[in-house]
């Protein structure tokens, strides 16, 4: 993939993935802390959010795939941009 389409895809997808990935991270960590302290029964709502159940909106069937696919696309496009930036730096003539 050329640098421009990779950069455009990364730029479009990254802001969309920040919220769901952050929500998954935070709710997972907080629920784990609750489980370690023996209070998981009081924090089942965190587990519901973690799995993609947002009140009357239930995305449990697709939420994990959305998060996984988004993370893989961000990782792939970011890696491509990083590798292309390394090639560009080495191909430039030295500054005088």
Q: List pLDDT tens digits, range 5-37.
A: 878 888 888 888 899 999 999 999 999 999 999
Instruction: Give the closest residue to 73 by CA, choosing from 3, 26, 12.
Output: 12
Instruction: Give the dihedral of Cα atoms 85, 71, 11, 24; nearest 10 deg.
Output: -130
> Is the predicted pLDDT of residue 90 greater than 70, yes or no?
no
Domain range summary for the chain, segments of one domain joined by +: 17-85
CA distance 3 to 83: 10
The pLDDT value given to residue 7: 83
CA distance 70 to 93: 37
The pLDDT value given to residue 88: 59
The pLDDT value given to residue 56: 93
Q: List pLDDT tens digits, range 32-80.
A: 999 999 999 999 999 999 999 999 999 999 999 999 999 998 998 889 8
Asked if 24 and 50 count as a contact pair (C-beta separation under 8 A), the reply is: yes
């Amino acid at each position: 993939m050329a640098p421009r389409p990779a950069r455009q895809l990364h730029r479009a997808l990254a802001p969309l993935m920040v919220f769901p990935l952050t929500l998954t991270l935070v709710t997972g960590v907080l629920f784990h802390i609750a489980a370690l302290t023996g209070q998981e029964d009081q924090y089942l709502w965190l587990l519901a959010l973690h799995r993609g159940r947002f009140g009357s909106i239930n995305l449990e069937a697709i939420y994990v795939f959305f998060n996984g696919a988004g993370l893989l696309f961000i990782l792939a496009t970011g890696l491509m941009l990083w590798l292309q930036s390394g090639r560009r730096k080495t191909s430039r003539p030295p500054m005088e």
